[in-house]
């Protein structure tokens, strides 16, 4: 197994890893060879951050349009073929060789350690390990390295999840937070004493558990009100191949600086001040098959430089405030779909989707499509949301089954709450 420096590395050590990564990409990546040549960038001459920032940003479109140019090893060396989730546009192919799988293993091992999972624990993975999903396999590999017990239930199937919890007594679950609401609902309907179960913590993926002030999001409060388990927020993506994970103090997701170099940039590409929001731009370090440099994630996040109460000094990022391309402008107010989701969580409503379209003048038109089974009337919801968001949203009722089909499309690995049909 490859050795990795500890996450508590110095700035100088991280810079060395970054330089090695740039040199590796310059030697092996057809995409970056071309880019550096076209931009007249000499990696050997990069000595400080301001030199590094001259390298152009890599975008998702670059990855989509020139996918194979990013491959820096022989195709035959690839072991795991996966795709990105395709939240914005078509999914992109991603490939990992042996060294990348070892890196992924180490990444998730560190991530579980931050959340306090130990060798003695049993962890039930309620996400898929298949369907071209990198994260499911990463959890499995990380837990293998940790030596913990693993239950692979996969996604959905609340009955199987509770049966497995009763049989194997896991202390932790890996789960999408809104799936926990489904699990609780199933337990309540089937007289399962879920509050006395063995589960004490959940490693959560895909949904924000912190709000902009680093306090518990409405979703976290909603789950905790029903089930007293400790929820750990994580943030990751296929392109980053690295997880950011909350410790037991729940004040932002810890960065693993030995695996990823992070920048948070404003609209003009300049670094934001500590505590301000900007787009997360990443350079995942020590990746061999598809190295990326200054990859724009499209996620708007906040950086937290202060040392954490847990003693880690490597910085954290707050939860994802929204995706840059998903920003909505409604009568002069800018907001992200996450703001609407947060407000809906305070009302305890899950069965809905948000649809954005253009009106005849090209303005954003946002329609909240709720299930007919939601107890509050559309007018009541509209008024309550107006109090929280200062905007009046159009609300339509649909049958519960149509809302379910739209929210859980067959081809998707996670719920799709926001449907962006805007053309501009």
d(CA 201, CA 253): 16
Cβ closer to Zn ion: 106 or 244?
A: 244
Cβ of 57: how many Cβ atoms within 10 Å?
Answer: 15
Q: Which residues of this protein are in contact with Zn ion, per CB under 5 A?
A: 247, 249, 308, 310
User: Helix, strand, or coil here: 130?
Assistant: coil
253-254 and 316-317 strand pairing = antiparallel
Least distance from Zn ion to the Cβ atom of residue 308, Å: 3
User: Helix, strand, or coil here: 381?
Assistant: helix
Least distance from Zn ion to the Cβ atom of residue 3, Å: 24
Least distance from Zn ion to the Cβ atom of residue 8, Å: 12
Structure tokens at 146: 């940790």
CA 418 from centre of chain: 15
Helix axes 11-28, 30-39, angle to 10 degrees: 100
Cβ closer to Zn ion: 249 or 408?
A: 249
User: Helix, strand, or coil here: 411?
Assistant: coil
Cβ closer to Zn ion: 252 or 284?
A: 252
Residue 357: name the closest of 400, 384, 323, 394 by CA.
394
User: Helix, strand, or coil here: 380?
Assistant: helix
d(CA 37, CA 29): 12
Cβ closer to Zn ion: 211 or 338?
A: 211
Least distance from Zn ion to the Cβ atom of residue 247, Å: 3
Cβ closer to Zn ion: 243 or 395?
A: 243
Least distance from Zn ion to the Cβ atom of residue 262, Å: 16
316-317 and 295-304 strand pairing = antiparallel
Give CA torsion, residues 180, 154, 112, 116, to 10 deg.
50
Least distance from Zn ion to the Cβ atom of residue 255, Å: 11
Please name the residues in contact with 231: beta carbons below 8 A apart, sequence gap of 6 or more.
177, 180, 201, 202, 204, 209, 220, 223, 224
Least distance from Zn ion to the Cβ atom of residue 12, Å: 23
φ, ψ of residue 418 to 5 degrees: the values are -100, 125
Cβ closer to Zn ion: 123 or 308?
A: 308
Cβ closer to Zn ion: 95 or 247?
A: 247
Least distance from Zn ion to the Cβ atom of residue 249, Å: 5
Structure tokens at 295: 């990859």
Asked whether the beta carbons of 422 and 357 are under 8 A apart, the reply is yes
Cβ closer to Zn ion: 310 or 389?
A: 310
Least distance from Zn ion to the Cβ atom of residue 307, Å: 9
User: Helix, strand, or coil here: 108?
Assistant: helix
Cβ closer to Zn ion: 312 or 422?
A: 312
Least distance from Zn ion to the Cβ atom of residue 201, Å: 15
Cβ closer to Zn ion: 313 or 401?
A: 313
Instruction: Dihedral sign for Cα 82, 84, 85, 89, please.
Output: negative
DSSP for 144-195, written as a single string: HHHT-EEEE--SS-HHHHHHHHHHH--SEEEE-HHHHHHHHHHHHHTT--GG
């Amino acid at each position: 197994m490859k050795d990795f420096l500890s996450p508590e590395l110095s700035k100088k050590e991280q810079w060395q890893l970054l330089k090695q990564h740039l040199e590796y990409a310059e030697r092996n990546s057809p995409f970056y060879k071309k880019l550096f040549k076209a931009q007249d960038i000499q990696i050997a001459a990069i000595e400080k951050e301001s030199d590094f920032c001259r390298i152009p940003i890599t975008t998702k479109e670059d990855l989509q349009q020139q996918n194979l140019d990013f491959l820096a090893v022989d195709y035959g060396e690839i072991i795991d073929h996966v795709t990105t989730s395709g939240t914005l546009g078509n999914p992109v192919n991603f490939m990992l060789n042996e060294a990348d799988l070892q890196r992924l293993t180490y990444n998730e091992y560190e991530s579980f350690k931050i959340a306090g999972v130990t060798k003695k624990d049993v962890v039930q993975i309620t996400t898929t390990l298949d369907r071209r999903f990198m994260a499911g396999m990463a959890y499995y590999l990380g837990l293998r390295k940790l030596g913990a017990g693993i239950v692979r239930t996969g996604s959905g199937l609340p009955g199987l999840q509770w049966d497995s919890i009763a049989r194997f007594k896991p202390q932790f679950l890996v789960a999408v937070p809104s799936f926990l609401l489904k699990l609780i609902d199933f337990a309540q309907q089937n007289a399962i004493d879920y509050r006395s179960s063995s589960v004490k913590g959940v490693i959560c993926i895909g949904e924000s558990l912190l709000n902009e002030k680093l306090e518990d999001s409405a979703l976290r409060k909603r789950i905790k009100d029903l089930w007293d388990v400790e929820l750990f927020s994580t943030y990751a993506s296929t392109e980053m191949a690295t997880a950011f994970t909350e410790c037991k103090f729940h004040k932002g997701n810890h960065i693993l600086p030995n695996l990823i170099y992070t920048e948070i940039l404003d609209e003009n590409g300049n670094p934001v001040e500590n505590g301000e929001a900007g787009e997360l731009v990443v350079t995942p370090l020590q990746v061999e098959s598809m190295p990326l440099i200054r990859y724009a994630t499209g996620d708007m996040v906040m950086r937290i430089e202060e040392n954490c109460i847990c003693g880690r000094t490597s910085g954290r990022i707050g939860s994802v405030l929204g995706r840059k391309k998903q920003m909505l402008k409604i009568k002069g107010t800018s907001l992200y779909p996450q703001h609407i989701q947060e407000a809906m969580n305070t009302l305890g409503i899950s069965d809905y989707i948000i649809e954005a379209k253009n009106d005849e003048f090209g303005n954003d038109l946002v329609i909240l499509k709720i299930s007919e089974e939601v107890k509050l009337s559309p007018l009541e919801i509209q008024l309550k949301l107006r109090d929280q968001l200062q905007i009046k949203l159009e609300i339509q009722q649909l049958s519960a089954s149509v809302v379910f089909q739209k929210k859980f499309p067959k081809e998707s690995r996670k719920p799709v709450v926001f449907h962006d049909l805007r053309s501009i």
